Amino acid sequence: MFRKMLNRLFKPPLRVLFAVDIVAFPLVIYSLKSLSSEHPVALTAYLISAYALVITVVNFKKAYRRLKELLTGDELAPVRGVKRFLRRYSLTRRYLESKDFRAEAGLYMGLVINLFYAAFKVITGVIYSSAWLWSMGIYYLFLGGIRFFLMRGERTKSSLKSSNDIKLHEFRTYRLCGCLMMILDIAAGGMAVQMIWQNKANEFSRAAVIISAAYTFYMFVLAIYNVVSFRRRSNAILSAAKDLALTGAVMSMFSLQTSMLHVFGTDNERHFRRVMNTVTGSIVMAIVLAIATYMIINGTRKTDLYKKQTGGLDNE
C-alpha cells in the first residue's frame, strides 16, 4: 500500500508532470524576484519546484521520449503546421531531416547564447564592481572561443577528401579541445580560489540571479540533449561538443550557487558560504579536469590507433 502511494506520488501521469513543471517554473521566478523568502506563497513555490525537480528526474526518460514524440511526430496540429512551414525552405528542411546539420546548428546557437551570457557577466561585473563576475565573463568568452573552434573544425571536414583524413582531423580536434578545456579549467580554478579566499558577498540583484538560473537550466538541458543525441555517433567533434556542454553546465551551477549565496545569505553566514563554495568549487573543477584529461588521453590513443590501422597515413 505504501509502495503504491509512493509510485503515485513520484511517478504521476505525464500530463500531471508537465503541468507541475509548467506551474513551478514561473511561480518560483516570481517568488525569487518579488517576494521574501518567508512569504507563504514563496514557501509554497519552493516546495512545488522541489517536487517538480524530483519527479522530473525520476521520470526523465519517459518524459523525454513522450516530449520527443509530440515535438517530432504528427500528433499535434501546431507541430504539423510548423513542420509544413519549415519544409518549404531548403535550409529548414535540412534541419528537420539531418541530425548532423542539427548538431552543427546547435553549435552556432550555443555560441551565440554563450557570447550573450559572457557579455551579461562582464556588464554585471562592472555594475556591481565584482572581480568574480568579471572573471566568469572572461571564462564564458573563452568557452565561446572553444565552441567556435569546434564549429570551424566541423566545417573543415568538408574540404578533406579521404575518410582517413576526416577521422584523423576529428580525433585531433577532439584532443585539442581537451587541452583547451584543461587550460581553461586551471584558470577558472585560480579565479575560484581567489573568490573563496576573499569570501566577499557582493550585492547582486535578484534579476541577475534569475538570468543566471535560466542560463544554468539551458546548459543542463543542452548537456542532457547532447548526451542522448550523440551517444551512438562516431563523430569525435560532436562528442567534444557534448563534453564541452557538460563542463559549461557544471561551471554554471557553481557560478549560480555563488550568486545565490550572495543574494540570499547574510554576513553572519560567511563561514557557511566559504565551506559551500569550497566544496562545490572543488567538485566542479575536479569534474572538468577529469573530462579534459580523458579527452586528451582518449584523443591521443584513437589518433595513434587509427594511424596504425591505416598504415601511418597522415595527409592533413
| Span 153-178, pLDDT tens digits | 888 877 777 777 888 888 899 999 99
- On whether residue 36 sits in a domain, the answer given is no
Query: What average pLDDT does the segment 178-199 reach?
Result: 79
| pLDDT value of residue 297 | 93
For residue 266, what pLDDT band results from cuts at 50, 70 and 90?
Answer: low
> Residue 182 belongs to what domain range?
99-316
| pLDDT value of residue 179 | 92
- On whether residue 10 sits in a domain, the answer given is no
pLDDT greater than 80 at residue 216: yes
Say if residues 262 and 202 touch (Cβ distance below 8 Å).
yes
- On whether residue 104 sits in a domain, the answer given is yes
- On whether residue 125 sits in a domain, the answer given is yes
What is the per-residue pLDDT across 55-85, written as a single tens digit (0 to 9) for each?
Answer: 888 888 788 788 777 777 777 788 788 888 8
- On whether residue 216 sits in a domain, the answer given is yes
| pLDDT value of residue 76 | 75
For residue 197, what pLDDT band results from cuts at 50, 70 and 90?
Answer: confident
Tally the C-alpha atoms within 13 A of residue 299's C-alpha that lie toward its C-beta.
Answer: 24
- On whether residue 127 sits in a domain, the answer given is yes
What is the per-residue pLDDT across 94-128, written as a single tens digit (0 to 9) for each?
Answer: 877 777 777 777 778 878 888 888 888 888 888 87
The overall average pLDDT reported for the chain is: 80
pLDDT greater than 60 at residue 201: no
| pTM attached to this predicted model | 0.67
Say if residues 30 and 46 touch (Cβ distance below 8 Å).
no
Query: What average pLDDT does the segment 218-235 reach?
Result: 72
For residue 180, what pLDDT band results from cuts at 50, 70 and 90?
Answer: very high
- On whether residue 64 sits in a domain, the answer given is no
Q: How many domains does the structure of the chain reveal?
A: 1
- On whether residue 14 sits in a domain, the answer given is no
pLDDT greater than 90 at residue 293: yes
| pLDDT value of residue 230 | 64
**33 vs 37: CA distance, rounded Å:** 10
pLDDT greater than 70 at residue 209: yes
Q: Which residue has the higher pLDDT, 257 or 33?
A: 257
| pLDDT value of residue 296 | 93
Query: What average pLDDT does the segment 41-63 reach?
Result: 85
For residue 86, what pLDDT band results from cuts at 50, 70 and 90?
Answer: confident
| pLDDT value of residue 8 | 82
| pLDDT value of residue 67 | 79
Q: Quick one: cell of 78?
A: 501546431
Q: How far is CA 229 from the centre of its chain?
A: 14
What is the secondary structure of 51-73 as a DSSP string? HHHHHHHHTHHHHHHHHHHHHHS
For residue 36, what pLDDT band results from cuts at 50, 70 and 90?
Answer: confident
Virtual torsion, Cα 241, 137, 287, 108, nearest 10 deg: -10
The DSSP 8-state label assigned to residue 269 in this structure reads G
